[in-house]
Chain A
Amino acid sequence: MSNKSQKRPKVIGEKTSLAFWVPFYVFMVLYAIFSLAPIIWMVMTSFKTRGDVYATPPLLIFQPSLESYAHIFFYSDIPRMLLNTVIISIGSTALSLAVGLLSSYALARLPIPGREDIAFYILSIRMFPPIAAAIPIFLILRSLNLVDTHIGMIIAYTTFNLPFVVWMMRGFIENLPPELEEAAMVDGRSRLRAFLDVTLPLLKPSIVAIAIFCIIFSWNEFLFALILTTRVAKTMPVSITEFITWREVTWNTVAAAATILVIPVIIFTFLVQKYLVRGLTMGAVRG
């Protein structure tokens, strides 16, 4: 935290001449265009009529129409899908954080036998191809009558959010010097108290960053949603694919649904961007 006033190391050297800045900005702008163009194109497509979508050469200037959005809001279930996506994302993230935080601390600091192996086991869960896991998880949920429910989906998503939380959080905790807690414990606190009073506040930015990623992962997840839901708890990514039929792809409707799915995420990104870097910066405390 105290480093903010210090100059960041300029790893590329101190050049500030024009010969550096011109190519620098050219590259930056080019990459920005590369990043933005497909998204902007998709948003533009969502405002085209069905006919305009197939125009050759592709139209840059066209008569905008809201027909795809009207179709989505009045004739389809998309608004409810959006709500499902929100509920499941936030629910799964909250659950994973609640369970994972304490466990990652245990893995980072406490002398548990077989610690490294347990940590690797938790990470390895994420290595399992989700397709193979989807069916057994479906069977588990079915025996609990949780198929196509929000709770079922939240539990299913925790299988990949929880390892992520534990693995990342453990790395961050390991980067903080253990002296912090030891100092607190000398003061008379128990190990758990030391963690809650001293270390946890320091980890707040990291927790926020991890939460952001968990929400994004859950928001965008497709495979489990495809297999584990039918009507009630279906999420947006699955409903988008329903616009792709054997006859045709109604690109403008697809684009509109995609835009609706993506707009909250874009707004979210702009709001949380500064937390991301701050949170992922490890070793926030320098001795």
Chain B
Amino acid sequence: MAAKPKALRAGLSEKTGITPKEREKRLGFILLLPTLLMLVVITLYPTLYSIWISLHNLVLTNPKSNPFIGLMNYYDLLKDRDIWISFGVTVVLVIGCVVIETVLGMVLALLFNRNFRGKNILFPIFLLPVMITPIVVGLQWRYLYNGEFGALAWLFRSIGVQNYSILTFSNTALPGVMVADIWEWTPFMFLLFLAGLNSLPVEPFEAARVDGASAWRQFWDLTLPLMRRVLLIGLLLRTMDTFKMFDIVYIMTQGGPGLATETIAMRIFRLCFKFFFMGKGAALSLIVLVIIVIISKQYIRIFQEKEPAAAVAEEEPGAA
């Protein structure tokens, strides 16, 4: 297809009275429309529906009666001690998992950022866990943890502890679930950070090395700031997903023992499908949504690049 000479296009503006900028804006709208249409249609209804339901006392065992109770659901939820325990469990889960996954992922990425023998074999092996279905991950760890016939139980027996099922004791149930999550998702951070490291410009590091900066200095003052964007994406995605984590908890402990692993998502599930308190379930979901949105905005605020990486690279050699 022959490209139109620019002169003709410029004439277009005079003819139709639309500036190039206007044209771009319209093009943008047109391109954006299918996505927005799909997403809004599919998600607007659930959101509105959830808000509507959360203001009513809908109990599925009695679907005909649907009294409007305003914000009572929210009030009941915030008063409920169990909900606060769930929040606590979720916070521990999120902080523990995300921190360890980030640190471990970063360490692995740094180690992989050089050539060594066996790299091509180890790389897919390290990646494997993130590809496994969370349900399967939960199942396999549940099997490993079993106090009677699980593989880990055998290890415990050799240090004299009998029949210790990790998931049935409230002290170790949550760490047990966390290990499964960390096992599965560290490779995701590892992959993300590795890609990020691969795209860093070489010049600042060479300059730093010439200046005699130690490895630690290089990492702290150069690598981390330059990886801002990647760190943001990783932290954002993992925090969001861990907050909503359902699959692994459902298949491993269903929230038990007691409330030890009752994450917020598990709580919502219980409210909706065990107790049939649809109103409360919807209300809790919306609370969780607001929390995640707030946290995400904070992340973006902290990690938003203040200056493009190129400018940082330029400053380095002449910094002194």
Residues of A participating in the B interface, judged by any CB pair closer than 8 Å: 3, 6-13, 21, 24, 27-28, 31-32, 34-36, 38-39, 41-42, 45, 53-58, 99-100, 102-103, 105-107, 110-113, 118, 120, 122-133, 135-137, 139-140, 155-156, 158-159, 162-163, 166, 168, 171, 175, 185-193, 216, 219-220, 222-223, 236-237, 240-241, 244, 251, 254-255, 258, 261-262, 265-266, 268-270, 273, 276-277, 279-284, 286-287
Main secondary structure of the interface of A (DSSP, over half): helix
Give B5's nearest chain A residue, CB to CB.
Answer: A188
B contact residues, total (Cβ < 8 Å): 108
How far is A260 from B272 in the complex, measured between Cα atoms in Å?
32
Known: A140-B45, A222-B134. A189 touches B110 (CB 8 A): no
Known: A11-B219, A99-B38, A166-B35. A139 touches B49 (CB 8 A): yes
Counting CB contacts under 8 A, is B128 at the interface?
yes
A129, B124: Cβ atoms under 8 Å? no
List B contacts of A175 (CB < 8 A): 199, 229
How far is A113 from B28 in the complex, measured between Cα atoms in Å?
10
Contacts between the two chains (Cβ within 8 Å), count: 301
B229, A171: Cβ atoms under 8 Å? yes
Give B309's nearest chain A residue, CB to CB.
Answer: A283
Main secondary structure of the interface of B (DSSP, over half): helix
A262 to chain B, nearest CB (A): 6
8 nearest interchain CB pairs?
Answer: A110-B28, A280-B195, A132-B285, A136-B46, A13-B215, A103-B35, A9-B205, A106-B31
How far is A247 from B21 in the complex, measured between Cα atoms in Å?
67
Query: What are 6 A-B pairs at a CB distance below 8 A?
Result: A41-B143, A54-B149, A132-B282, A137-B42, A192-B27, A266-B131
List B residues 216-240 near A (Cβ within 8 Å): 218-219, 223, 229-230, 233, 236, 240
Which of B6, B149, B153, B247 is the one whose CB lies under 8 Å from A188?
B6
B6, A258: Cβ atoms under 8 Å? no
B27, A106: Cβ atoms under 8 Å? yes
List B contacts of A140 (CB < 8 A): 42, 45-46
Counting CB contacts under 8 A, is B89 at the interface?
no
Counting CB contacts under 8 A, is B125 at the interface?
yes
A273, B123: Cβ atoms under 8 Å? yes
B182 to chain A, nearest CB (A): 10
Counting CB contacts under 8 A, is B50 at the interface?
yes
B202, A3: Cβ atoms under 8 Å? yes
A131, B265: Cβ atoms under 8 Å? yes
How far is A86 from B229 in the complex, measured between Cα atoms in Å?
33
Known: A133-B43, A261-B133. A41 touches B223 (CB 8 A): no
B148, A158: Cβ atoms under 8 Å? no
Counting CB contacts under 8 A, is B84 at the interface?
no
Known: A11-B223, A99-B34, A136-B50. A106 touches B28 (CB 8 A): yes
Which of B5, B149, B200 is the one whose CB lies under 8 Å from A9?
B200
List A contacts of B9 (CB < 8 A): 188, 190
List A contacts of B194 (CB < 8 A): 277, 280
How far is A284 from B198 in the complex, measured between Cα atoms in Å?
10
Binds A, one of B62-70, B166-174, B288-296: B288-296
